[in-house]
Amino acid sequence: MTLSAEPQAGESSLAATVGRVAGVIGHPHYPTGDRAALKRWSPDQPMPLAFYRLWLRHVGDALPSEAQAPTWMALAWGLATLGASSHRKERPLGRALAESGFAEARLERLLGAPDDLRVELFMSMVRFLAAKNESFDWLDAATFLLTTDAPTRERVCRRIAQAFYRHQPRDNAKE
């Protein structure tokens, strides 16, 4: 079985990888057992073979680095959890959070989370969005989780927050 999502012209390597992973997991012919194995994963468990199979058959010839593999697994878990149409390039993560009623305090905890809590809070956010049947641009999530450089991470957080506040319902009574 060959499943793929072809990268678009001008797309970054990360965007192409995110699109490929989303396309494969969301493909109707992706094995339901593999999708279920990805959804059952939690950070305190070893990565399922379904992740290695997904990556090596559909994404690349080599696995992500040992440091990045759990983050990529969290992204695969999220894509499997949200379902086939969860990746929408035109809808920023911050917008999806605002329009679904995600609490500002939760967003603040997520964006300010230290490295050891980031994936856990991200997974909580994904569960919230899954309950609301939301979709968003998973490149935002990948950039947020994979960025280790502090100034770059701050720019990513600013972009998510900006989209969140731009799409918050306006409270005209306060003005």
User: pLDDT digits over 8-43, tens only?
Assistant: 444 589 999 999 999 999 999 999 999 999 999 999
Tally of CB atoms within 10 A around 1: 8
The whole-angstrom separation of Cα 110 and Cα 125 is 8
pLDDT at 145 over 50: yes
The model's pTM is 0.89
C-alpha closest to that of 140 among 127, 124, 158 = 158
- Which pLDDT value is given to residue 99? 97
In this structure, are residues 15 and 139 in contact, taking their beta carbons and an 8 Å threshold?
yes
Per mean pLDDT, which range of 49-58, 81-90, 125-134, 163-172 is the poorest? 163-172
Percent of the chain with pLDDT over 70: 91
Containing H/E element for 39? helix 32-40
pLDDT at 98 over 90: yes
pLDDT tens digits for 123-139?
999 999 999 999 999 99
Give me 27's structure tokens.
């493909």
In this structure, are residues 76 and 46 in contact, taking their beta carbons and an 8 Å threshold?
no
- Residue 136 backbone dihedrals phi, psi, to 5 degrees: -165, 175
pLDDT (average), residues 87-110? 97
The whole-angstrom separation of Cα 166 and Cα 73 is 30
- Which pLDDT value is given to residue 87? 96
Sign of the torsion angle spanned by Cα atoms 112, 144, 78, 75: negative
pLDDT at 1 over 50: no
The whole-angstrom separation of Cα 103 and Cα 27 is 32
Q: Which residue has the tokens 């100034």?
A: 151
C-alpha closest to that of 89 among 18, 152, 147 = 18
Total residue length of the chain:
175
3-state secondary structure of 87: strand
Q: Name the CATH code of domain 26-167 (choices 1.10.287.3510, 3.40.50.1480, 1.10.520.40, 1.10.10.10).
A: 1.10.520.40
- Which pLDDT value is given to residue 12? 83
- Which pLDDT value is given to residue 9? 45
